[in-house]
Structure 1
Amino acid sequence: MNVVIIGGDAAGMSAAMQIVRAQPDWKITVLEKGAIYSYAQCGLPYYIGGVVQDSNDLIARKREVFEEKHGIDARIYHEVTEVDPEEQVVKGTVTDKNEPFEVPYDKLLVAAGASPVMPPFDGNELEGIHVLKTIPDARKIVEDMKEDVLNVTIVGGGYIGLEVAENLVERGRKVRLIDLADRLGSAYDPEISEKIQAEAERNGIEVILGESVKAFEGENRVERVVTDQGEYLADMVVVAIGVKPNSGFMKNTGVHLHDSGAILVNPYMETSVKNIYAAGDCATQYNRIKEKDDYVPLGTHANKQGRIAGSNIAGQTKTFKGMVGTSVVKFFNITIGKTGIGEEEAKELGINYKAIGYDTAPYSHYYPGSDAIFIRMLKHKETDQLLGVQAVGNTGIDKRIDVAATALYHRMTTEDMENLDIGYAPPYNSPWDPLQQGARRI
């Protein structure tokens, strides 16, 4: 059997290793657009901030290991431009040699990931303008951060924008954050966003909201960011307004796509075309709360989906059970977490919901350091099913989000939450866990 995998990162190589273990005699060819395999994209902001000293530390497994130890044909600079599902051939260009290539397949896995969104702003070609998705992107930012680069503007107030902002401040830069939305972290409910903005301003970040970037200006290097309401001086710019799935080369294959452009897959990671699978940031994920296909490109999903795709390709049936939309972000001295859906999503879905927000403590109030945390909780008004939890604070946020994510996965009610047997000792919790406090009140 000849298996071709497009993409050499989390989903692609998770799949490859499953196939190698189950079918060691099969031929596996991986076509990677860049030159680096299996790296930690989520660690890139921390390399920029100097928390991670060497970018090579972000590489989980080098290409040579896949080739020499596991017999995988792991190619680099192979950019796929076309898939022919009738002939079962993948076509593209070897970019460092500017040569065409064709590779036949019996089974194909598309794990091409996603690319950062860069709108066609005037001045995009100026030096000092960056995006962040790959190790080379991060290296360029670090190399560009000369002594005279003092003022950095970040366009976008989502996860990556916040993490990059924090790490640039840690590197001694003056940071401005511009977002078209009317609040930072617009994926969260407003009460959470308020606390994110307060933390940003507490750490010297200038927050500009409700403005649309129109252009970048300068001689050879960026000097100004122009919005629909003003101009801002900048020595460097990082654009972090989201990602789009790398699925363009699949447009003439008959493969069905999601509204986001991601490749629609079933629980087996199969697409609508025979012998073609997809996984990771270029594919959809079934949302167990919304009960429909969604697009939430995160490393946790990519690793799971890649493993499941590889198992099914190799003849070992497994299914992706879906996700609930869990994330956690460190931002200076606070942690921000979310799982399930928020109020806006509940409204869009037409769900009859009830929501509460409350201040509480992560552990016993009398134990030193028990600073207040804030939690938002949503439930279905008629069925009592938990729908979502968001939280922000200095400590204990990740624990509550993970417990809530587990409850959401199993479609628990808030009454079920009250009855959970959660660990208690004064340094770690209260007799009633903060989540249970909300479950009792909602």
Structure 2
Amino acid sequence: MRVGAWTRRRSMWLDIGLATVAAGECAWSAAVFAFRQGLGTAAVVAVAVFGLIAGSTLLVRRRWPLIPVAAALATIPLDAGYTLLMIGLYTLGAYRPEGAAGRFAERRVMSALCALAIAETVIVSTLTLGTQQQDALRHGVAEYVLVILSVLVAVAISVPPAILGLYIGAKRRLLVALTERAEGLETELSLLADQAHERARRARMEERTRIAREMHDVVAHRVSLLVVHAGALERVVHKDPDRAAQSARLMGDIGRQALDELRQILGVLRTVEPQEDETGTTGTSTGSPTGATGTAGTSGAAAGLGSPLDGVEAALLSLADLPKLVDESRAAGLVVRYTLGGLRSALPAQAEQTAYRVVQEALTNVLKHAPGTDVEVVVAYVSGGVALAVSNTCPAADTAPAADRGLPSGGNGLIGMRERVHALGGTFAAGPTAEGGYRVEARLLTAT
């Protein structure tokens, strides 16, 4: 603010000084011209006042630069206003006013103004040779020489200021354009940075959701089975040692399976994708889970985390593993009827994994919320994909609620299933049936 105020004050005092000089030159030159032409005192005073007013127009040269030029062209016939003309032409070219005056700052119109000023100057000099150039004529200088000198002087006082003004104006406009462009680029870079930050944030959220879904799918089913078998073991340990031993073996198998799946996921989380260094070579590094999670904020890390995990699980989990999953649920006390229909066709690994996870989570929910009910699992291969449904009958009135069985529910199972199915462009529905049971349906249509 201080710099701007100081600049404005400096410009104001400069305009006052130029206006004072131009007004003095115009008033003196006009008065001398009138006196040499033999006009009366009143005429001399009048033209002097006119010259004074014309020179004072430089006070408004920055706002209305055309006014000093017009005033100079009006005073040239009085053989005055040459200083005013030079400053006016420079200002008109340098500041490029808006509106109608802006058209006079164009190069063609500036050329026309210069030609008019040259013509006026030459005409005035030619008409006043007898009164203005008496000494030169007495010394034998030819009249045509004086006319040529008048033309040269007229060109010198009009063309260079106009050219300089146009150059300064073009340079100033170029500087303004470059400044605006730099500001625009800075704004654009800021927007791009914000967009990149938002994309990174979304990638982090998607990856966190993905990891939470995978952990839930792996842990919830196995732990639910462990809790069910632990309860059965507690009840029959003294009554039926053989059955207790069988439950203990099942618990061990289930625990080992859970540990294997968790180990697979944690191994993927520890893996860092190979990155190119500045020399273009590729290096591979491994880091801690914290470091790997930190890099998952970028889209590249997110993509790198997704593919290996899908590959690992696809090798372990597919529709072919559903019979084993059904057997585990039967061993936990559920009465499960499994039906496989349709002409079996090859599906993408991700579709196989998603179908497996949907059935797994549905069976886990039955263990949590409706133990002892009859469950029906139907898997049917359809054109271009697979359809599946898991439904259970109405639980008995004496069925223990989930809280009493030590199987709390976080409400993430249905959300995870829906996200998995929708991610593949499929349809998902879940809700109670008219008979009081519950039904989960999913349909995955994918290309082979």
Q: TM-score, normalised by structure 1?
A: 0.20
Q: Which has the higher contact order (CA 8 A, sep 6+)?
A: 1
Larger radius of gyration: 2
The structure in which a higher percent of residues are helix is 2
The structure in which a higher percent of residues are strand is 1
